[in-house]
Amino acid sequence: MRRLLARADALMNRLYGWRYNPLYHSGAIVVALLIVLLITGIYLLFFYRLGAPYASVAALTGQPWSGRWVRGLHRYASDAAVIAALVHALRVYAHGRSWGPRTLAWVTGLILLFVVFVSGWTGYVMVWDVQAQVLATEGARLFDVLPIFSEPISRAFVGERPIPSAFFFLNLFAHIAFPIGLGLLVWLHVSRVARPGLLPPRPLMWGMIGLLCALAVLWPVTMGPAADLFRLPGRAPYDVFYSFWLPLARALPAGAMWGLFAVVTVVLVLVPRWAAPPRERRPAPSVVDENLCSGCEQCYLDCPYEAIAMIARPGETAGRSALVAHVNPEACVSCGICAGSCAPMGVGPPGRTGRDQLTAVRSFVAQWRLRPGEGGGVPDAVIIACDRGGGGIARDGEFAGAPVWPITCAGNLHTSVIELMIRAGVGGVLVVSCPPRDCWNREGPKWLEQRIYHDREAELHQRVDHRRVRLAHAAAAERAVVADALQGLREEIARLGAADREADADLQRECDTEEAVR
């Protein structure tokens, strides 16, 4: 599934660019569509009559300029919201981002989807055409097997007497009340992330709304015949996104449908449990070395999951900052972005802190130095690639003659690693991250770019020739993007000539010395 998604991402990136790839913005698209639904829903409410539901909707549908297209937009937005929500859930599941500290987001996301379905169901019942009749009677049949109503609600739909207005009032109330709860659920859904991106980029958002408006005009929504409780429901248009369960419900007893619903619900709710890797393979949360922490708050600012807080430094604070970073292991997803944000390299997941990276990169560079050849075996270019996306080359060892150094997330990369490579004589360094909106850890590429080019704390030092450093964004299936970026870097290196090589570039020792001086 992950491979399939990677190919779809690559195709969409090629067609729309990674900034406007709708697959990357599926969650934000749902929010934008919910806002469209809210606005169009309020408008449509003015025309709906509880005493004559079908007639009022039919009258509205008959008005091409003031009614039909708004109803079409309302309907198509609700359908698109289901698609976007499913894509979002599928991506989160396939990328293994549904467990651990992300469990709350997964579970609230499922509830959100359920509420969207229930709202859609009640919305279609409001129309009171044939589809509404089938949805209402099947729903009543399902609820009648539950021991919660004193009288079977199916009796309301046998035709013994006209459907009471109270039914349409309750249905309308549910159609409005459920979406009100959506706001609270969205807040809960994103409550564990910092700086949630709730809306897609404007060109994408307005393009999508424009498409739905065009669709509503060019392909107007229709209504089935009016509900008739004395006739078997014949052929009529149904909305697959909200009525998909009807063929199954009509074929199975109500008890079996509830059983199926319970099984599906349990399986989905338990995804965080069974999708999680075994405990011994789970990446450990970040830890803080309080001796190195300078209390600068950068890790606290950069953490995309609000897992870091600044607390009063315990014990003696003489000559040190009053505050020290503290990681909440329950909220930490082990993205390692804090390691990239910490200039003194005092925080990060065990084995992936800035110091650990420097130790690893020294051996990496040394092994290339040992190779015979021009430049003492030092490669002309090195690629640092994100393990998740990064063109899918992180595990290749080498790409187009350039050695590849894998990193779990671009945001985890400490800029000192780049510096060490350049000072060791590497002609240039290409860092390949995932496209920013597709970062598995949300903000890795964004912070890395600012550290390299915009002097964000833990910045790439000015003494490094920035022309020898390139940052490229590539999804897992975009090897061609990496190849193009590498080609561009090599051309630049050719213009600049060989890098000055320091015989003994040892940043860790320099850092230790600086720390000792401080």
Partner 1 sequence: MTGGRVIRFALAAAVVVGTGAALAALSSAPYTAEPTDRAIVRLAWRARGERVRECHRRSAEELARLPQHMRQEEVCERRILPYRLQVDLDGARVVDELVRAGGAREDRPLFVFHDLSVMPGTHHLQITFAREGTAEEEQEEEGEVDATEAGRRARETPERLGLDTPVVFVPRQIVLVTYDDEGRRLLLASSGGAP
* Residue span binding partner 1 (CB under 8 A) among the ranges 101-109, 225-233, 330-338, 401-409: 225-233
- Rounded CA Rg of the chain: 29
Alpha carbons 458 and 411: distance in angstroms, whole number: 11
User: Which one of 239, 419, 438, 449 is in contact with partner 1 (CB under 8 A)?
Assistant: 239
Beta pairing, strands 398-399 & 402-407? antiparallel
In sequence order, what are the beta bridge partners of 398? 403
Instruction: State both tokens at 427.
Output: 């002609």
Size of the site for partner 1 (CB under 8 A): 44
Is residue 4 involved in binding partner 1 (CB under 8 A)? Answer: no
Instruction: State both tokens at 29.
Output: 């698209």
Alpha carbons 276 and 194: distance in angstroms, whole number: 23
- The DSSP code for 395 is T
* Residue span binding partner 1 (CB under 8 A) among the ranges 143-151, 175-183, 286-294, 419-427: 143-151
User: Which one of 65, 162, 202, 234 is in contact with partner 1 (CB under 8 A)?
Assistant: 234
Ranges of beta strands (E only) in 305-387 are 308-312, 323-327, 347-348, 381-386
Is residue 245 involved in binding partner 1 (CB under 8 A)? Answer: no
User: Which one of 65, 148, 235, 266 is in contact with partner 1 (CB under 8 A)?
Assistant: 235
User: Which one of 101, 179, 233, 427 is in contact with partner 1 (CB under 8 A)?
Assistant: 233
Is residue 236 involved in binding partner 1 (CB under 8 A)? Answer: yes
Alpha carbons 407 and 466: distance in angstroms, whole number: 20
CA quadruple 154, 157, 158, 164: dihedral sign: positive
Is residue 35 involved in binding partner 1 (CB under 8 A)? Answer: no
What mask of x and - would describe binding to partner 1 in positions 166 to 205, judged by CB under 8 A? ----------------------------------------
DSSP string across 150-200: SS-GGGGGSSSSPPPHHHHHHHHHHHHHHHHHHHHHHHHHTTTSSS---S-
* Residue span binding partner 1 (CB under 8 A) among the ranges 152-160, 193-201, 427-435, 489-497: 152-160
Q: How far is Cα of residue 54 from the mean position of the Cα atoms in its chain?
A: 40
| Closest CB 173 distance from partner 1, rounded Å | 25
What mask of x and - would describe binding to partner 1 in positions 388 to 427, judged by CB under 8 A? ----------------------------------------
User: Which one of 2, 3, 195, 231 is in contact with partner 1 (CB under 8 A)?
Assistant: 231
DSSP string across 445-456: HHHHHHHHHS--
User: Which one of 232, 318, 370, 503 is in contact with partner 1 (CB under 8 A)?
Assistant: 232
* Residue span binding partner 1 (CB under 8 A) among the ranges 224-232, 286-294, 387-395, 482-490: 224-232
Burial of 231 (0-12, 13-18, 19+ CB in 10 A): exposed
- The DSSP code for 383 is E
**Please, which of residues 249-268 interact with partner 1 by CB under 8 A?**
250
Phi-psi region at 346: left, alpha or beta (left = phi > 0; alpha = psi -120 to 50): alpha
**Please, which of residues 426-465 interact with partner 1 by CB under 8 A?**
none
Alpha carbons 300 and 326: distance in angstroms, whole number: 9
Is residue 383 involved in binding partner 1 (CB under 8 A)? Answer: no
* Residue span binding partner 1 (CB under 8 A) among the ranges 145-153, 333-341, 349-357, 510-518: 145-153
Instruction: State both tokens at 332.
Output: 């930490």
Contact 22, 12 (CB under 8 A): yes
Is residue 282 involved in binding partner 1 (CB under 8 A)? Answer: no
Alpha carbons 201 and 186: distance in angstroms, whole number: 19
Kindly give, in sequence order, each residue whose CB lies less than 8 Å from that of residue 477, ignoring residues fewer than 6 positions away. 3, 6, 7, 9, 10, 392
| Closest CB 21 distance from partner 1, rounded Å | 11
| Closest CB 75 distance from partner 1, rounded Å | 6
What mask of x and - would describe binding to partner 1 in positions 39 to 78, judged by CB under 8 A? ------------------------------------xx--
201 vs 406, which CB is nearer to partner 1? 201
51 vs 234, which CB is nearer to partner 1? 234
What mask of x and - would describe binding to partner 1 in positions 76 to 115, judged by CB under 8 A? x--xx--x--------------------------------
* The Cα angle at residue 383 between residues 382 and 387, in degrees rounded to 5: 145
* Residue span binding partner 1 (CB under 8 A) among the ranges 26-34, 164-172, 180-188, 223-231: 223-231
* Residue span binding partner 1 (CB under 8 A) among the ranges 13-21, 186-194, 358-366, 416-424: 13-21
| Closest CB 212 distance from partner 1, rounded Å | 8
User: Which one of 46, 51, 148, 151 is in contact with partner 1 (CB under 8 A)?
Assistant: 151
DSSP string across 33-101: HHHHHHHHHHHHHTT--TTSHHHHHHHHHT-IIIIIHHHHHHHHHHHHHHHHHHHHHHHHHHTT-SSGG
Is residue 3 involved in binding partner 1 (CB under 8 A)? Answer: no
Residues of this chain that interact with partner 1 (CB under 8 A) are 14-16, 75-76, 79-80, 83, 130, 134, 147, 150-152, 154-155, 158-160, 211-212, 214-215, 219, 221-222, 228-241, 243, 246-247, 250
